[in-house]
C-alpha cells in the first residue's frame, strides 16, 4: 500500500480555502463582469481538464509500453484521471454562458446550424464526458480488482481497454477541441488543431504528474533508481514539448504561407504586441527552456530539478490556453483580469482538494507483473 504523505493532507486544506475564496469571487464576477468570468472559467477549466485527460492518456500509453518510469509516478496520474467527474461538474456553469462565449449562439452558424447549436453542443459535451468517465472508471476498476488478487489481473483485457480507450480519446478530444475552442472564432478552421490540443493535454498531464510526484514524495532525490527514472521522465518530457512545438509551428507555417483571410485572421488577432509577447513567452518556457535544460544530463537525473521544470511548463500551458481562448473576447490586447484569478482559485482549489482526497485513500501499489524495461 502507498499512502499519501503529510504534504498532500496539508495541500487539501489550502486547496479548499482557495476554492471557497475563488467561488465567492466568481459569484461576485457573475454579477459584475459576466462576459469576462465565462472566458476565464472556460480556459482555466480546459487547463485542469487537460491535465486529467492527459494523465489518462499517459497511463494508457504506459500500460501498453511498460517501463519503470511510469510506475514511479503512477499514483498522482491515476488520481488526476479519477477527477474527471468533478471536472464534469465544474464545467456545468459554462452552460449558463454559452451566449456570452460563442458567436454562433446569437448570430447562428449558417449552413452548419445542424451541428453548432446549443442542444447539439450540450448533448455532445455530455457524450464526451460519459465516454471519458467510462474509460477512466473501467481502468480504475481493473486496478482495484488487482488489489484483491494481483495474480489474476487480466493483463490482456487491460491492454485491449487501453487501445480502445486511446481510440475513443483521439476522436472525442479532437471533436471537443473543435466544439469548445475552435468555435470561439467564427469561420476559423485548422485540421491539426485537435491534435495540437491533445498533445498539449498529454504534455500538461505529464508535467503535472512528475511535479506532483516529487512534491508529494513519491519520487525523491536519492531514492533507489531515482536518477534513472528521472532521466527517462526527462526524455519523455523532451519528446512531448518537441511534439507540441512541431504541431504548433506546423499549423502556424501552413496558415502563414497560404495567407487566406478567414484563416490568418486568427493569428492577426493574436499578433497584437502583448498577445504576441505572451506567445513568445509560452514558446520560451514550454519549448526552449526544457530543450536546453534537457541537454544537461545532471539536470535530467535530479527529480527535484525536473519537477521545477515541469512546474514551469504547467504555468506556460496555463498561458497557452489563455492565448488560445481569450483573444476573441479581449481584442484590445492581453490583460490579465481579476476573473482569471477567481476562476483559477475556484477550479484549481476544488480540483486539487478532490485530487488530494483521492490520494489520501489507501491504494494498490502498482505491481508490474510484466517485465519492467528501462527506456531511454
Partner 1 sequence: MKNASNLYGVMAEFATPQALLDAVARCRSASFAKLEAFAPFSIDGLPEALGFTRNRVPLVTLIGGLLGGIGGYFMQWYSAVVDYPINAGGRPLHAWPAFIPATFELAVLGAALAAFFGFLALNGLPRLRHPVFDAPDFDLASRSRFFLCVRAYGTAFDADAAERFLRELAPVRVMRVDR
Q: Which of 6, 4, 29, 5 is nearest to 345 (CA)?
A: 29
- For partner 1, the closer of residues 252 and 338 by Cβ is 252
Q: Which stretch binds partner 1 (CB under 8 A): 3-11, 69-77, 172-180, 247-255?
A: 247-255
In contact, 7 and 216? CB cutoff 8 Å: yes
What is the spatial distance between Cα 128 and Cα 179, in angstroms, rounded to a whole number? Answer: 11
Evaluated on CA atoms 217, 318, 51, 46, the torsion sign reads positive
Range in contact with partner 1 (rule: CB under 8 A) among 8-16, 111-119, 207-215, 252-260: 252-260
Alpha-carbon separation of residue 282 from 9, 274, 307, 308 (angstroms): 32, 12, 18, 16
Of the listed pieces 184-192, 246-254, 300-308, 365-373, which binds partner 1 according to CB under 8 A? 246-254
- 256 near partner 1 (CB under 8 A): yes
Sole binder of partner 1 in the list 119, 260, 295, 335 (CB under 8 A): 295
Q: Report d(CA 350, CA 91) in Å as an integer.
A: 12
Give the per-residue contact string, 122-161, with partner 1 (x = CB under 8 A; - = no): ----------------------------------------
Residue ranges with strand state E in the chain: none
Contact 203, 313 (CB under 8 A): yes
CA–CA separation, 197 and 308 (whole Å): 23
- Stretch of 6-14, 253-261, 321-329, 339-347 lying at the interface with partner 1 (CB under 8 A): 253-261
Closest distance to partner 1 from the beta carbon of 62 (Å): 24
State the residue for C-alpha cell 480556459.
43
Question: How many residues bind partner 1, per CB under 8 A?
Answer: 7
**Residue whose CB is less far from partner 1, 189 or 256:** 256
Within 10 angstroms of residue 148's Cβ, the number of other Cβ atoms is 9
- Which position among 249, 365, 368, 369 is part of the footprint of partner 1 (CB under 8 A)? 249
Q: Which of 252, 265, 281, 375: binder of partner 1 (CB under 8 A)?
A: 252
- Measured from the CB atom, is 127 or 271 closer to partner 1? 271
> How many CB atoms are located within 10 Å of the residue 322 CB?
23
Judged by CB, which is closer to partner 1: 142, or 252? 252
Per CB under 8 A, the segment of 27-35, 90-98, 225-233, 251-259 that binds partner 1 is 251-259
Binding to partner 1 by residue 271, rule CB under 8 A? no
What is the rounded distance in angstroms from the CA atom of residue 161 to the CA atom of residue 308?
Answer: 33
What is the full DSSP assignment across 189-218?
A: --TTHHHHHHHHHHHHHHHHHHHHHHHTTS
Q: Is 257 in the site for partner 1 (CB under 8 A)?
A: yes
Region near partner 1 per CB under 8 A, out of 28-36, 249-257, 320-328, 361-369: 249-257
Among positions 6, 106, 151, 259, the unique one binding partner 1 when judged by CB under 8 A: 259
The length of the chain in residues reads 376
Q: How far is CA 311 from CA 209, 274, 342, in A?
A: 10, 23, 20
Binding site for partner 1 (CB under 8 A): 249, 252-253, 256-257, 259, 295
Amino acid at each position: 500500500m502507498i499512502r499519501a504523505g503529510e504534504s498532500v493532507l496539508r495541500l487539501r486544506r489550502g486547496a479548499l480555502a482557495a476554492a471557497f475564496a475563488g467561488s465567492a469571487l466568481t459569484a461576485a464576477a457573475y454579477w459584475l463582469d459576466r462576459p469576462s468570468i465565462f472566458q476565464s472559467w472556460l480556459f482555466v477549466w480546459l487547463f485542469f481538464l487537460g491535465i486529467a485527460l492527459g494523465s489518462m492518456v499517459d497511463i494508457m500509453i504506459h500500460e501498453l509500453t511498460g517501463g519503470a518510469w511510469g510506475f514511479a509516478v503512477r499514483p498522482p496520474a491515476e488520481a488526476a484521471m479519477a477527477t474527471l467527474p468533478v471536472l464534469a461538474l465544474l464545467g456545468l456553469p459554462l452552460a449558463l454562458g454559452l451566449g456570452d462565449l460563442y458567436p454562433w449562439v446569437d448570430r447562428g452558424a449558417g449552413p452548419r446550424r445542424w451541428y453548432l447549436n446549443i442542444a447539439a453542443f450540450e448533448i455532445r459535451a455530455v457524450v464526451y464526458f460519459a465516454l471519458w468517465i467510462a474509460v477512466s472508471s473501467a481502468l480504475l476498476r481493473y486496478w482495484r480488482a488487482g488489489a484483491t488478487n494481483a495474480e489474476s489481473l487480466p493483463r490482456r483485457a487491460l491492454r485491449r481497454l487501453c487501445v480502445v480507450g486511446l481510440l475513443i480519446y483521439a476522436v472525442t478530444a479532437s471533436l471537443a477541441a473543435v466544439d469548445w475552442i475552435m468555435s470561439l472564432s467564427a469561420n476559423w478552421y485548422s485540421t491539426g488543431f485537435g491534435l495540437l490540443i491533445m498533445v498539449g493535454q498529454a504534455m500538461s498531464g505529464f508535467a503535472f504528474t512528475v511535479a506532483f510526484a516529487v512534491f508529494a514524495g513519491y519520487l525523491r532525490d536519492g531514492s533507489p533508481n531515482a536518477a534513472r527514472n528521472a532521466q527517462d521522465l526527462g526524455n519523455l518530457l523532451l519528446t512531448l514539448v518537441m511534439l507540441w512545438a512541431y504541431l504548433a509551428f506546423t499549423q502556424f507555417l501552413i496558415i502563414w504561407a497560404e495567407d487566406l483571410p478567414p484563416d490568418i485572421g486568427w493569428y492577426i488577432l493574436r499578433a497584437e504586441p502583448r498577445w504576441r509577447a505572451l506567445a513568445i513567452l509560452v514558446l520560451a518556457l514550454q519549448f526552449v527552456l526544457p530543450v536546453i535544460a534537457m541537454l544537461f544530463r545532471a539536470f535530467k537525473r535530479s527529480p527535484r530539478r525536473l519537477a521545477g521544470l515541469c512546474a514551469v511548463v504547467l504555468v506556460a500551458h496555463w498561458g497557452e490556453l489563455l492565448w488560445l481562448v481569450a483573444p476573441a473576447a479581449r481584442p484590445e490586447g492581453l490583460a490579465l483580469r481579476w476573473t482569471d484569478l477567481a476562476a483559477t482559485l475556484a477550479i484549481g482549489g476544488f480540483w486539487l482538494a478532490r485530487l488530494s482526497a483521492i490520494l489520501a485513500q489507501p491504494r494498490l501499489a502498482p505491481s508490474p507483473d510484466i517485465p519492467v524495461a528501462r527506456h531511454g
